[in-house]
Structure 1
């Protein structure tokens, strides 16, 4: 039993150390790519002046807008039937809720008016004339 546990432990350590060495070999390549990207970005930003940066940013946004505009229009066309379908379902539901709430609102308004009239009458009775 002890031999088996030692064998399992040694195997686990061997597999773990091998996986760590694989991660260590892959990580520097990815880290180098990320570091190079940010270093290039910093270098580009150092060489760009204020107005030029604004112009480049505006050009980038216009280019992005040109790319995304067709997708947005296509999405809007696809959502129109869905929105009209939802609207067709919501209108009867809203009418039903409004029909149920209208009597309650009227009853609350009547009670509030009664309370205000009571307070006004009581105040008139308390105040000396």
Structure 2
């Protein structure tokens, strides 16, 4: 059952809500990690390959923070060697529309900027 969210009616509430989201998703990589996991569960090495430019140390730190905030789950599989999979939670999947909106805006912006004549 989808929960109905009341619209924010005051500028102060809007700004506070935006700050909460920005604090949660701060940094360069968390939105990219979430976007990848919205498509499929992935192993650490898969995420390291897909999120181009992220270091292993940064990926590990961001994954821990996302797990702590209940946006992803970490599952250790009984394999040799040990395999760890990350998966978006139901709560984390509520960010899928946000990541799609950001991606669409980014594509439009890239086209606008690269097609600009000087």
User: Normalised by the shorter chain, which TM-score bucket?
Assistant: under 0.3
Q: Which has the higher strand share?
A: 2
The structure with the larger Rg is 1
Q: Which has the higher helix share?
A: 1
